[in-house]
Structure 1
Amino acid sequence: MLLIFFLFEIKVRKIGNSLGVLLPKDSGVTEGELLVYRKMGSIIQLELSEAKKVHDRGLIEESFDDFEKGNTVTEKEMTQEFGKYGWGG
C-alpha cells in the first residue's frame, strides 16, 4: 500500500485562553467534528477515524438504552404514523 503525505503550514492562533488552528475546507474536516490528537515528540497527529468510532459507539449505546426503556416503534406503527409520507408503502 502506497501512502502519500502532503505537508502544509498552519498558523497557530490564540483563542481566549487556548490555542487554535484554522483548517482549509479541503481538509475534509467538518464543523463540529471531533478529532483525536496524539503528540509524539515534536509531531502532533490529528485523526478523524478514532473520533468517529467513539462517536458511533456512543450512538449505539444510546440506542440500546432506548431499547431497554421501551422507546421503540414497530414497522406497523411507523407505517400508520408516516404512511401518508410514503413510509412502508
Structure 2
Amino acid sequence: MGKLKVRKIGNSVGAILPKEWGLKEGDVLDYQKKGNYYIIDTQQLAQEHDRQIIEESFADFETGHIVSEEEMKREFGKYGWGE
C-alpha cells in the first residue's frame, strides 16, 4: 500500500498524487467515504480519456487523413508489412 503525505495548502489541506496514477492537472476525482476509508474512483476519468482518444482518431477520417492497406503494403512492404 502506498502512502500520501497531506500538506497545508492555504486554509485547506492537499496531497501530491503519484504520477503513475495517470492524472493530469484539472482532473476531477469522484470519491466516497466508507468508515475511515476514502475511496477514489477514477473510472469516470478513464472513460472520458478513452472517449477523447476515440474522438481524436475519428478526426483523421473527417479530414481525409487515412491510408489504405494497399498503400501501407506499397510504402512499408520492404519492412515486412502485409506478409
Whether these two folds match at TM > 0.5 is yes
Extract unaligned runs of 5+ from structure 1: 1-5, 24-28
1:38 pairs, out of 15, 30, 39, with 30
| Structure 2 residue identity aligned to 1:30 | E
Runs of 4+ in 1 over 4 A off after TM superposition: 39-44
The question of whether the paired residues in 1 share the 8 Å contact of 2:31 and 2:39 is answered with yes
| Counterpart for residue 74 of structure 2 | 80
CA distance in 2: counterparts of 1:66 and 1:87, whole angstroms? 21
Deviation of 1:77 after TM superposition, in Å, equals: 0.8
The question of whether the paired residues in 2 share the 8 Å contact of 1:13 and 1:19 is answered with yes
Distance 1:20 1:10, change over 3 A: closer
1:64 pairs, out of 55, 58, 64, with 58
Extract unaligned runs of 5+ from structure 2: none
**Identity of aligned pairs, percent?**
43
Q: Structure 2 length normalisation: TM-score?
A: 0.62
